[in-house]
Amino acid sequence: MTNWASQASSRNAEGHAAFYGATINPYYKRGSVGVDALRSDADRAYQTFTSLDIRVSNIEVTPDPDGSHATAVFDKTWNFAGDRTSSGSVQQKLWLEKQNGRWVITGEKDVKIYYLGR
């Protein structure tokens, strides 16, 4: 999770997208999207915010019995600055799947909002 957050903070859309499968479902409130939509979202954020600080903590990973799927629930806090600012803290859930010998994110959503700032 920390490498995933680090890629986003470093403003590396390709590196961040490499953590995902071809399809992400759910993707926040949008339902199913392709990884290209995720990459486009990241690019828009990188154009808006010149500084991104993302931190994760309280990570709990729960594997399925078959060993090919898992979920990760954790706290995510962010502070973005640039043309505008954004900050907040949420509990987030990721769905993970083992594909070609590596774990990829196949779903992502906020479970609980602790606070949002603008």
Using one digit for the tens of pLDDT, what is the confidence trace for 23-58? Answer: 999 999 888 999 999 999 988 888 899 999 999 999
pLDDT attached to residue 82: 92
Domain extent listing, the chain: 2-117
Q: What percent of the chain has pLDDT over 90?
A: 75
Full-model pTM: 0.90
Distance set, CA 28 to CA 83, 93, 102, 110 (Å): 24, 10, 23, 6
pLDDT for 1 equals 64
Residue 2 banded pLDDT, cuts 50, 70, 90 = low
CATH topology of domain 2-117: Nuclear Transport Factor 2; Chain: A, (3.10.450)
Residue 6 has pLDDT above 90, yes or no: no
